[in-house]
Structure 1
């Protein structure tokens, strides 16, 4: 029973319950068709996918399954032929090329199989690069880059160039660069593809730690044992999601 308010004193109006946050990824009826002359190929055939904030999802599939096309769409590197893709609640289909570039820089932290580090720059300078494009000042860039490298366990390698680092260390620099701007999600495309078993375990351990810290991670891989580290596995075959389990 709710207590009555004292005479002459009104009870405060309850605050409205805030709406739940939008999913990081919401893909509905996603189709992607490639046209070459009179020939067309449908790489995605009506895909639905939802990823909530803080999830760790692996997308797995063989070559030609549509996995890479799905990654390009989710990373705003390509756009759907039809269907809807919302990233953190925003309809990507309504964005122009300038807006898409801004989304890639601010909302998505990319990590690829190739490390894509500039060999002439130190680790900390490589990590600073996304922040240069945002127009941040030198001191702020450096502080954020150092923090990101410390987060991936490379606080003692700030001034090392890529050639002075192991493959696993270079990939951790790439992760620091992906993290530095505070993106909505980390999109890792075959991040262990060029690594030996020791460095692979190192990187997978880093992904586990980032997930435990609340990061949203989308891992693209063709290796079942790598995908098994994720909390949830999505399988793609012939342009369709065949299984969405765990």
Structure 2
């Protein structure tokens, strides 16, 4: 079964007539104009003005952003292009921040703590968990954001412009981190115009021509 399917999907004033299928466990790069808007639509931050969007068994024809937010929080992890973090807090505290806002406590349950330890070792920043985030370089900040997005074990990971603020060498290392996450069965969808990022994915989808509503 397809993980994600869009049929004649449109979000004004950006794009229209988007037909896209992303299989479970695949990696896809979205490129071209309004790539971020399409990624945000898949991530349930935007509602369709036309067409349909199906995620697994969920037929997302609702126009209720609140309903979409619940779906996103249970199924997806999202890395925005701008990495947001608290400089004076530790890496661990930054990773736990979404959990704190959801529950009011920094004490992770056993399964989440085990997941955090697993991810931090897999991605290679376990020894930095107690370090203040202000001392991290751009690559380490990106890794911290990746762990935070994956802490609830999402089945889909959406990444917006991963090359931003990274050197080419750092980007290559970060792509390796993404491959490690994908090896767990996670579906990767990335918006980017970077050739290295696009080449790292199994498929590339480009928004062009009649799909573009405005410039």
**TM-score, length of structure 2 as denominator length:** 0.88
Q: Is the 8 A contact 1:66 1:236 kept in 2?
A: yes
1:202–1:78 distance in 2 versus 1, CA, 3 Å: same
Tell me which residue corresponds to 1:161. 132
Q: Is the 8 A contact 1:107 1:184 kept in 2?
A: yes
**Moved >4 Å (runs of 4+):** none
Tell me which residue corresponds to 2:203. 232
Q: Is the 8 A contact 1:168 1:195 kept in 2?
A: yes
Tell me which residue corresponds to 2:80. 112
Residue 48 of structure 1: how far off its partner (Å) = 0.7
**TM-score, length of structure 1 as denominator length:** 0.78
* Structure 1 stretch displaced more, 52-61 or 121-130: 121-130
d(CA) in 1 for partners of 2:114, 2:176 = 25
Tell me which residue corresponds to 2:55. 87
Q: Does 1:29 align with 2:13?
A: no
Residue 139 of structure 1: how far off its partner (Å) = 3.7
Q: Does 1:148 align with 2:119?
A: yes
Secondary structure of the residue that 2:144 maps to in structure 1? helix
Q: Is the 8 A contact 1:66 1:238 kept in 2?
A: no
Tell me which residue corresponds to 1:216. 187
Tell me which residue corresponds to 2:90. 122
Residue 88 of structure 1: how far off its partner (Å) = 2.3
Q: Is the 8 A contact 2:39 2:190 kept in 1?
A: no
| Bigger Cα Rg | 1
Structure 1: runs of 5+ lacking an equivalent: 1-21, 35-42, 242-246
RMSD, aligned CA: 2.0
Structure 2: runs of 5+ lacking an equivalent: none
Match of 2:29 among 47, 53, 58: 58
1:144–1:129 distance in 2 versus 1, CA, 3 Å: farther
1:68–1:102 distance in 2 versus 1, CA, 3 Å: same
Q: Deviations over 1:155-186 (max 9, x none)?
A: 11111122111110110011101110111211
d(CA) in 2 for partners of 1:126, 1:146 = 14
Structure having the higher helix fraction is 2
Q: Is the 8 A contact 1:149 1:155 kept in 2?
A: yes
d(CA) in 2 for partners of 1:199, 1:28 = 36
Residue 133 of structure 1: how far off its partner (Å) = 4.1
